[in-house]
């Protein structure tokens, strides 16, 4: 297995573990839906902070966003829209709609894994900025703030980003 595949596998495992922590999923979805963040890029910033104690640099964030845009635009986002549209109400008994919803959810999850593989593949030496930071939290804070600035998310996004960092990192 090459280094990129190993890193992609480690990133995926990290993402599943972090996403399962209390309130992390809800914060990620809110940041995605309210401010336009890519959850996988948020998770990448956390992963790099956790594993390297470094922050993603602003130029690297832009490059990564461009690298995964075709996958997001043509695969992940249409699948997400279809899954959300197909979600059955809680009042409906088990139907074919439940099966379709479940299948769409699984395909969307695999598409998210492809995005993560592409993010790792697109990562370049120097993607991180500066020397090792004192804590993973300091590195994550820098990455998440640079990402917020790169997509011109409003200051209102700062609080959920901080909450995400606190919930995601030990």
Give the pLDDT means over successive 10-residue stretches in the chain (170 positions). 82 97 98 98 96 92 96 98 88 78 96 96 72 90 96 98 96
Which of 76, 40, 77 is closest to 61 using CA atoms? 40
Total-model pTM: 0.92
pLDDT of res. 5: 81
Domain that holds residue 108: 3-122+131-168
pLDDT, residue 126, reads 60
HSE-CB at 139 with a 13 A cutoff on CA atoms is: 25
Beta-bridge partner residues of 154 = none
Distances (CA, A) of 32 to 6, 27, 89, 133: 27, 8, 23, 27
Is residue 143 a contact partner of residue 48, using CB atoms and an 8 Å limit? yes
8 A C-beta contact, residue 40 and residue 95: no
108 and 76 Cβ atoms separated by less than 8 Å: yes
Helix (H, G, I), strand (E, B) or coil at 129: strand
**Number of structural domains in the chain:** 1
3-state secondary structure of 146: helix
């Amino acid at each position: 297995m090459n280094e990129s595949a190993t890193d992609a596998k480690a990133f995926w495992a990290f993402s599943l573990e972090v996403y399962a922590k209390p309130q992390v999923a809800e914060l990620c979805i809110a940041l995605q839906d309210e401010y336009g963040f890519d959850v996988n890029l948020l998770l990448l910033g956390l992963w790099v902070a956790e594993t390297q104690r470094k922050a993603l640099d602003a130029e690297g964030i832009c490059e990564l966003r461009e690298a995964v845009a075709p996958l997001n635009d043509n695969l992940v986002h249409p699948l997400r829209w279809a899954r959300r549209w197909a979600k059955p109400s809680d009042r409906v008994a088990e139907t074919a709609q439940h099966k379709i919803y479940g299948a769409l959810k699984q395909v969307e999850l695999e598409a998210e894994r492809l995005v993560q593989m592409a993010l790792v593949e697109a990562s370049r030496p120097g993607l991180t900025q500066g020397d090792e930071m004192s804590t993973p939290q300091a590195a994550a804070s820098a990455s998440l703030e640079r990402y917020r600035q790169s997509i011109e998310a409003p200051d209102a996004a700062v609080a959920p980003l901080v909450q995400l960092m606190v919930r995601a990192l030990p």
